[in-house]
Amino acid sequence: MPDALPLSDRRSFLGYFAGLGLGSTLFPGVLWARVASGTEVNDAAIVAAAEVAGLTFSDDERKQMLSGLKGQPQTLAALRAVPLDNGIAPAIVFNPMPSMTEPPKGASRAPVRSKAAVRAVPSNLEELCYEPVTVLSELVRTRKVTSTALTRMYLERLRRLDEKLKCVVTVTEERALRQAAEADAEIARGKYRGALHGIPWGAKDLFAVKGYPTTWGSAPYKDQQLNEDATIVQRLDASGAVLIAKLTLGELAQGDVWFGGRTNNPWKLDSGSSGSSAGPGSATAAGCVGFAIGTETLGSLSSPSSTNGVTGLRPTFGRVPRTGAMALVWSMDKIGPMTRSVEDAALVFNVLHGPDGRDLSCRAAPFSWDAGAPLSKIRVGFVKSAFDSTERHPLKEFDDAALDVLRKLGMPLIPVELPDAPYNAMRIILDAEAGAAFDELTRSGRVREMAQQGPGAWPNTFRKAHLIPAVDYINANRVRTLAIARWAELFKGVDVIVTPTGAANQLTATNLTGHPACILPNGFRDGTPINVSITFLGSLFGEANLLRVAHAYQQATGFHLRHPALA
């Protein structure tokens, strides 16, 4: 362990190794630390490193290893001399499809929408703030409301409420008003681009927007400007949507604390909004944007959707290109909408999906939204053990009620169980890739500028990542291959699975296997929907069936129609 590390950092390291049962045996100098610093590797370092890896070598074996390891500092120094921008992905590209299979083929069809609710335009335009895209888009399309008026209303609301919510990093007012004016002019000429034309939206501040800071929520990057719009920003621009703000994220996509403080929950202002898509969840629930775009690696979209009572769609891994988005974990990062209804999520996803030729993980597959597609053709499973649990936890009554609703909708529910695998152990994949994504930040020492520095915060995770053996990282991905095959078998019998959001392992498992999920508000406790949610899981690239079932459930329950009281 390098003596140059501050005492607090060394204690974090020691706590980690104590958990491995190693304690002070590491003081002779861990092999990785000696190689990294250029210090000559010695026998004691090999012994300590072998303990970390769970191995034992004989005296003769260690002597043979020493000669090869003495040249390793030069090899690694040559690699580290190559500048690696966060946007450069590894040559190894993760594919969630099981062996010998491909995504569905065919062309997407234009969305078939529900009949839009017709409503009068209120004298106070702010009364529209909680309307879904399905309603707002008809008002804009029929020119009952201009995009400019809608944009100014949301901008004013963002500014007024952000003092309480802390959900905004940067307001993009000049860009927004220009886009809104262009939308109004086009619609007046009879050129209508579709459901998102003229609708104000917010982007999690890990998406590059030319001319504005892209801070990743972290102090070391708060002045960073990137010179090209992210692909999803380009696509939403092309749809006519109006970007009004870059919204907060927990720093470097973890939690709800960023360099400006904590993003708060509009339902309970003394609580955080969860993360890392903290701003998108808070702003959408608070009626400060028409919709927002978040991301998920391991819960970063699911958790704030559940906490803020909004609808979140986490698409299949490789569905939406991540070009221009901060990379955290190349084999797990996903981009999806956070909205006020399932149909809104479908309309936004319809614009986002498909390869851009630059994100090599992104695959082509059709998506066709039909709000009235027959439910009878969709096989729906439920995680039997999770719903049958006799434990009277606080959410059980909500979970049980969800099954009753689905049965009343005429869906024969098929009992299933989630495949067993060591999912938590596979989380070293996340740690190793995140450590690589922010290697330079760690080596430079600027990681100490981050707002959070505890044992569970990124700085400690990044440091620990340097001590994950490469062999174990690769073998974790091999175990992942087995898990993917087991999930493929599961989805041969069903198209969609309903599960309690908090069911054991479902979140970790599906983020590792790349399956899509839709998270919906599912009731109220003490007047808020905080963490009262239900989750629908879909087959790979099966978003159409997933959203159709979730839409039917949402229309039958109406929990999404209630909103926080904010002055």
Q: Are residues 150 and 294 in the same domain?
A: yes
Tokens of 454: 């505890």
Predicted confidence at residue 78, as pLDDT, reads 87
Of 382, 444, 431, the C-alpha closest to 411 is 382
Is 204 designated active site?
yes
Residue 411 forms part of a structural domain: yes
* Per-state percent for the chain, helix, strand, coil, to nearest 5: 40, 15, 45
Query: What is the pairing mode between strands 380-383 and 496-500?
Result: parallel
Residue 184 forms part of a structural domain: yes
Tokens of 502: 């908090």
Q: How far apart are CA 331 and CA 429, in angstroms?
A: 9
Q: Are residues 23 and 147 in the same domain?
A: no
Residue 501 forms part of a structural domain: yes
Tokens of 78: 């040559």
- The catalytic position among 12, 137, 276, 331 is 276
Predicted confidence at residue 356, as pLDDT, reads 98
Which positions ≥6 away from 271 have C-beta within 8 Å? 264, 265, 530
The residue behind tokens 């043979």 is 64
The residue behind tokens 């009879």 is 190
Predicted confidence at residue 11, as pLDDT, reads 46
**Other beta carbons less than 10 A from residue 392's beta carbon:** 7
- CATH number of the structural domain spanning residue 228: 3.90.1300.10
DSSP H or E stretch at residue 400: helix 396-408
Angle (CA) 212-216-220 rounded to 5° is 95
Predicted confidence at residue 24, as pLDDT, reads 37
Residue 405 forms part of a structural domain: yes
Q: How far is CA 230 from CA 90, 210, 398, 442, in A?
A: 19, 9, 39, 25
First to last CA, the chain: 53
Predicted confidence at residue 10, as pLDDT, reads 43
Burial annotation 412-431 (CB, 10 A radius, 16+ → b, else e) = ebeebebbebebeebbbbbb
Of 459, 461, 456, the C-alpha closest to 433 is 461
Predicted confidence at residue 38, as pLDDT, reads 56
Q: Are residues 26 and 141 in the same domain?
A: no
Residue 436 forms part of a structural domain: no
Residue 232 forms part of a structural domain: yes
SS (H, E, C) 427-486: HHHHHHHHHHHCHHHHHHCHHHHCCCCCCCCHHHHHHHHCCCCHHHHHHHHHHHHHHHHH
Residue 457 forms part of a structural domain: no
Q: Are residues 204 and 261 in the same domain?
A: yes
Q: Are residues 152 and 248 in the same domain?
A: yes
Predicted confidence at residue 31, as pLDDT, reads 61
Residue 412 forms part of a structural domain: yes
Q: Are residues 305 and 408 in the same domain?
A: yes
Q: Quick check: 128 and 139 in contact, CB under 8 A? A: yes
Q: Are residues 5 and 148 in the same domain?
A: no
Distance of CA 209 to the CA centre of its chain: 19
The low-confidence residues of the chain, meaning pLDDT below 70, are 1-39, 390, 392
Beta strands in 509-551 (DSSP E): 517-521, 533-538
Burial of 177 (0-12, 13-18, 19+ CB in 10 A): middle
Q: Are residues 73 and 131 in the same domain?
A: no
Q: Are residues 150 and 8 in the same domain?
A: no
Is 300 designated active site?
yes
Boundary-marking domain end, from 31, 63, 82: 82
Of 546, 64, 497, 507, the C-alpha closest to 346 is 546
For residue 325, give the amino acid letter: A
Predicted confidence at residue 39, as pLDDT, reads 64
Give the structural domain span for 519.
125-362+373-421+478-561
Q: Are residues 144 and 19 in the same domain?
A: no
Q: Are residues 143 and 37 in the same domain?
A: no
- The catalytic position among 300, 305, 331, 361 is 300
Q: How many domains does the chain have?
A: 2
Predicted confidence at residue 26, as pLDDT, reads 40
- The catalytic position among 166, 204, 246, 464 is 204
Boundary-marking domain end, from 82, 109, 135: 82
Which positions ≥6 away from 7 have C-beta within 8 Å? none
Q: Are residues 68 and 133 in the same domain?
A: no
How does pLDDT run across 79-100, given as a tens digit for each residue? 889 999 999 999 999 999 998 8
Boundary-marking domain end, from 30, 47, 82: 82
Of 235, 250, 325, 316, the C-alpha closest to 282 is 250
Q: How far apart are CA 5 and CA 190, in angstroms?
A: 64
